[in-house]
Amino acid sequence: MVEPKSRCKAADCTEAHTKHYCKICKSSDSNHKARNCPQGINLYHGTKVSVISKIISEGLNPSTSGRIGPGIYFANLDTAMHVANSRGQGTGTVVVRCRVNASKCKTGHHPKWEGVTPTSFDEWCLQDSTSYRITGILLVNGVIDGDINMPGGDIVISGVCTFRGNITAGNIDGWGGGNF
């Protein structure tokens, strides 16, 4: 491979290229990686653990409808954990942390979701499914079939998780209930 004559502007980028594309702000010559995009905010998506390998390899699946329209739905960490617990139904849960371009989201205030959340909550619906980046996952119990390849991301584990595939991550850690 021929090394480029100059490097991209993103300080922590290890790729051999002259320009770095940020999928959050869409800059074609970015000085930052998507996980550090100043136009992005961290939002969370909760679901069952059985789909995490597919999410990592193919991305989050946008809904075709919803309270505020079609798209990928996000919430704060606490709400995403409640949603994940409901969807996991005792088989294990995952909360996906994403860096999202909030300007590409519709926002709303969701009433209490009976049987899922204890209170009403703010929600974000990302309608441009290319304007986010998965930066971490919180796994709570369950069996993870398939590979998880997140070389620059965080994997946080709580409870008992069984892995039946290869795992690559920038950081793997246990969760003590702190920041994620």
Give the per-residue pLDDT at 114: 95
Same domain, 29 and 110: no
d(CA 127, CA 148): 25
pLDDT class of 34 with cuts at 50, 70, 90: confident
d(CA 164, CA 121): 35
Give the per-residue pLDDT at 3: 53
Tokens of 179: 């920041």
Instruction: Confirm whether 51 is domain-assigned.
Output: yes
23 vs 91, higher pLDDT: 91
Mean pLDDT value of segment 5-23 = 79
For residue 142, what is the domain's CATH number? Answer: 3.90.228
Structural domains of the chain, count: 2
Instruction: Confirm whether 78 is domain-assigned.
Output: yes
pLDDT class of 176 with cuts at 50, 70, 90: low
Same domain, 136 and 63: yes
d(CA 51, CA 158): 17
Same domain, 22 and 104: no
The chain-wide mean pLDDT, for the chain, equals: 88
44-91, pLDDT tens digit by residue?
999 999 999 999 999 999 999 999 999 999 999 999 999 999 998 888
Phi, then psi, of 77 in degrees rounded to 5:
-60, -45
Q: Where does residue 63 fall: left (phi above 0), alpha (psi -120 to 50 degrees), or beta otherwise?
A: beta
Contact 150, 168 (CB under 8 A): yes
Domain residue limits at 22: 1-37
Question: For 79, how many CA atoms within 13 A lie in the half-sphere containing its CB?
Answer: 19
